[in-house]
Structure 1
Amino acid sequence: MNNFSKKNELETLKIENQLYKELISQLPYSLVYQNPQLGYQVEKKKGKQFPVIHPYQKELVEEKQLNLTITSDLFEPVENILSKIIDHVPHHIVFTDKNGIITLCNLQAARDLHVDQKEMVGKHIRELLQIPDEKIIILETLRTGKEIIDQEVLDRNYGIINTRIIYDAHGSIQRVVGTFQFLNRIKNAEKQALAGRIAAGIAHEVRNPLTTVRGYLQLLQMKVEPEISELFESLLIPEIDRANKIISDFLRIAKPSQTKTQIFQVTDFFNNQLGNFLNSEAHLYNGEINYEFCPKSETCLIEVNGDELIQVFINLFRNSLQAKQDEHLKIHIKTKVVKDLLVITFSDNGNGINPSILPYIFDPFFTTKDEGTGLGLSVSKKIIENHNGLMEVSSSKDGTVFSISLPIAKLS
């Protein structure tokens, strides 16, 4: 055989090997193929893209017997069908095998727990939930063999959990199915409702007397000595105004408001509206602001209350300013279009937010600052929600990123 023929044969073998490899990778179940004559086996695990070839001990397999073992169970084909259906269910649904390994994770669970849905298949349930094993209800069901019915979960993921066990023909556990009604959003809504009731009482019982006191202070200011008048001007009246502002901010969080809006072009708003305020603030504190607009977003229209949206970004800027420590403050504002939403990211180079307090930063009156009221971010989030938008946050030691999604306006 000449060199040309050998080269063609090698190319053909290479193509055949690649085809077989890709064929096995497409199988929706696990399998092990053992060849005692060669002393190697091919193993393909569910959820893994490509098979693995490695040697094994021949003496464990009867000599001259080719052994093909499909290690999947009868439920795997069913899961492949179910996965497309339960992705539309608004609750968390997770299937695990008898070892706590995830065989199915629906889209809602992946979204709420901030993981990649495909990567979770084949991993232990603890990697999805990120809590100790003793607190994982599915593992409790595996240990005890008892199903859980409507149990309230009070950890960081608040809700109601149910588990069901699926047995094989021999009575062994084949799957544990966990369904979790995620109630964090409902809990937050209840907080807002409670805040509304408190705010109404505050507004009625405190705001009117403060206005009266302020009026009398202004009247007295004209009749007292200059030294005392200066005290009124520099301390008493400003403190009453500060108290009034706290009440106003709290009312804005707690009660729905009728937002007067107008339509802006994205680049016009950032350059001519927001830019005038933020750029002067940055200059005052020796900071730096960079804008990056994706071409698709430049001509987009948003229907917003300009003053309120400017207030959101001023609040974010001031939070970044307080987090910068000794660093030269750098702000990066970036826009992009995702379907029918304008997504605005506001990132800084501060020292980040401690992961333990990150879930609470939008709660009214939550603050780590000695002089803070804890209302700035709460007000900002409420303003965005009043615009039918969404506000989220992520943080690391390299800085904090706030993401704001607003509907793109459509002219009729």
Structure 2
Amino acid sequence: MENKNELERLKKENQLLKELVAKLPVSFTYVNPELELAVCKEKEQHPPSILPLTDSLKTAHPNQRLYLTSANDSFHHTEAFLSDIFDLVAHHIVFIDDQGIITLCNLQAAKDHGVNRDEIIGKHLRELVKIPDEQLLNLETLRTGIEFFDREVLDKNYGILNTRILWREDGTINRVIGTFYFLNAIKEAEKQAIAGRIAAGIAHEIRNPLTTVRGFLQVLTNTSDDETSNLFRNILIPEIDRANKIITDFLSIAKPAEIRSELFGVNSFLINYLGRILESESLLYSIDFQIETDPNADEIQIHGNQDELLQVFLNLFQNSFQAKGSSPLKIKIESKRLENTIQIIFADNGKGMIPSILNHIFDPFFSTKDEGTGLGLSVSRKIVENYKGTITASSDEKGTVFKLEFPIRE
């Protein structure tokens, strides 16, 4: 009975697909050498033909491709037919022609990029995405004829990109179809989660200076000599300034802002920016935290954004804290100048990871924690790669080591 029901379901699905293909207002041939089959359809044909892959078809169409079989057959009728369907899809779907001009853009893509869908049709892809041509993988597919499969992208947007090519029968490209799984909201959620985790650190750091201020204000109410003035000038004001600085630094992590790249010193970043924040976290959670910088790297700069790089190390710090063993947690960050690169090493003495987990820690959505999004290390890797750098990890029972390497900017 189950086999019979399964057969009936497959028949219905086959009929549905045939009817859908038949309604496409375009002539085409789709070949699949692995299955030894081809689907051929003339514009007015109903239903399409499914034929064995003959030698002539193999010769004419050697690859698994979709060929438009009439050079004069305009594809815009098919795009108009598909547009209403693609508007129901929650991801970005964009068609471009052989000049990079947008011929189809679904509503979700237009909404996320903040444009009018009808007005963007007929304009170049760069006007939709607002990034340079050399960074647009759809255009790279157009230039090279190479399709992308589940390519992780992090430029001004974050997501998973796929591209497919519709070929003309003469071997030229008719359309490049790009689908983009838009993950900016999830990336921001990960960022906000980090901000929430350090909220306890903010409260701790603010409470101590305010307690000091309150105590000395009580003294001021009962005294008015020079000693009071010295206390006000040398202790109270610096404590208030320190509290304000901590609030500014921590909240800048959570505040969405336009990412601006700049040259900044590696050692200065580690000591004056990253170190100040992680030292506060370490005091709160009784972590033995150290930073060592290579004097030979004092003048070395990298090009990027300090807030983004801070997010990378906050991710590593949080992972170390969650992986601590029975011994007190120790975290050490150090910089090393190599021949043509600057290396930043982040090491802990946590429980470590087994190889089967270590091999997947940078994969999107991979997480060993029930509450984790699985995007922290994936986003961190893309940030490092955007700075032309690399990040690798090693782990054993003694702890975990992350190594970040960036090219030296002369």
| TM-score bracket relative to the smaller structure | 0.3 to 0.5
Q: What TM-score results when the alignment is normalised by the length of structure 2?
A: 0.39
- Which structure has the larger Rg over C-alpha atoms? 1
Q: What TM-score results when the alignment is normalised by the length of structure 1?
A: 0.39
